[in-house]
């Protein structure tokens, strides 16, 4: 029981830092895309508040980051689930909650740096709208299947055969789609980890441990078209490379500014003001 309390405390501490930088990042991205969207708008739209809002609502990037801000706003809760399955996730159905299992914490997480990368990855799925877009993808394929059944003159015999093929296509395309989502969530996740001032190089090792676990359990038999996640060794190597540029040193002037650097910047600013006088 005590170990679980300590686990949950660590999740909450790290989670708060990741959520804080994620909220700031989403806010800045929304401002950025709104600015870009309005650059080429004619004066008659810019000067009309109703038409401006309508135009912005139809802009794909503005819509994405508006949704992301809605998802991120407000206080967050952290839920530790007793389970033998290593997993962590964020859901639109249960908003502003991070779920993580005891098995993931016990099997793979050895530091706050590693935990930060995992949580950053899961929040990135929410920010990037992967849950919504995946649902839209599934709905489109299901709609095609229903239409085939309703239009088939052979009373479903032809459609049933084709639907079997379509299901395989949906599975394969969905796997590729999911792998791309994982890669983009890794990319944003390590950025959030760095912005929260964690050691991204050390954090990347969590994926190496996952890779070794898969090898030892016989699960890592190489990539196939149906793999919904990139192989963990690939993710580890990619994240290790990303950590060269996405690290806390890159944000020393902003979110990772230390008390010492803030003090010296203040002293420098004060001296400059004195000379200007």
Q: What is the pLDDT of residue 20?
A: 95
Q: In the 3-class helix/strand/coil scheme, how is 40-60 assigned residue by residue?
A: CCCHHHHCCHHHHHHHHHCCH
Q: What sign has the CA pseudo-torsion 17, 190, 243, 85?
A: positive
Residue 276 CB neighbour total at 10 angstroms? 6
pTM of the model: 0.76
CA angle 187, 222, 240 (to 5 degrees): 30
Q: What is the rounded distance in angstroms from the CA atom of residue 95 to the CA atom of residue 106? A: 25
Q: What is the pLDDT of residues 131-152, one digit of tens each?
A: 754 544 444 444 454 445 445 5
Percent of the chain at pLDDT > 70 equals: 70
Of the CA atoms within 13 Å of residue 87, those in its CB half-sphere come to 10
Q: What is the pLDDT of residues 16-55, one digit of tens each?
A: 999 999 999 999 999 999 999 998 889 888 888 898 988 8
Statement: residue 234 has pLDDT above 90? no
């Amino acid at each position: 029981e005590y170990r679980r309390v300590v686990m949950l405390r660590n999740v909450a501490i790290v989670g708060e830092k990741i959520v804080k930088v994620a909220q700031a990042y989403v806010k800045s991205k929304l401002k950025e895309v709104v600015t870009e969207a309005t650059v080429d708008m004619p004066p008659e739209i810019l000067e009309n508040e109703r038409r401006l809002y309508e135009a912005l609502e139809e802009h794909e990037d503005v819509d994405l980051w508006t949704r992301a801000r809605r998802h991120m706003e407000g206080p967050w809760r952290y839920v530790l689930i007793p389970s033998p399955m290593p997993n962590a996730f964020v859901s639109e159905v249960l908003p502003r909650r991070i779920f993580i299992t005891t098995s993931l914490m016990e099997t793979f997480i050895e530091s706050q740096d590693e935990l930060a990368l995992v949580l950053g990855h899961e929040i990135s799925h929410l920010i990037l709208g992967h849950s919504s877009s995946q649902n839209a993808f599934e709905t489109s394929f299901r709609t095609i299947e229903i239409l085939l059944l309703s239009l088939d003159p052979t009373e479903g015999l032809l459609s049933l055969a084709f639907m079997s093929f379509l299901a395989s296509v949906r599975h394969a395309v969905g796997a590729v789609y999911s792998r791309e989502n994982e890669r983009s969530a890794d990319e944003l996740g390590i950025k959030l980890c760095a912005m929260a001032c964690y050691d991204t190089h050390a954090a990347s090792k969590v994926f190496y441990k996952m890779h070794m676990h898969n090898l030892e359990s016989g699960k890592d038999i190489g990539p196939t078209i149906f793999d919904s996640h990139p192989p963990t060794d690939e993710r580890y190597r990619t994240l290790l490379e990303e950590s060269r540029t996405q690290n806390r040193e890159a944000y020393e002037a902003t979110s990772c500014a230390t008390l010492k650097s803030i003090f010296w910047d203040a002293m420098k600013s004060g001296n400059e003001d004195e000379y200007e006088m």
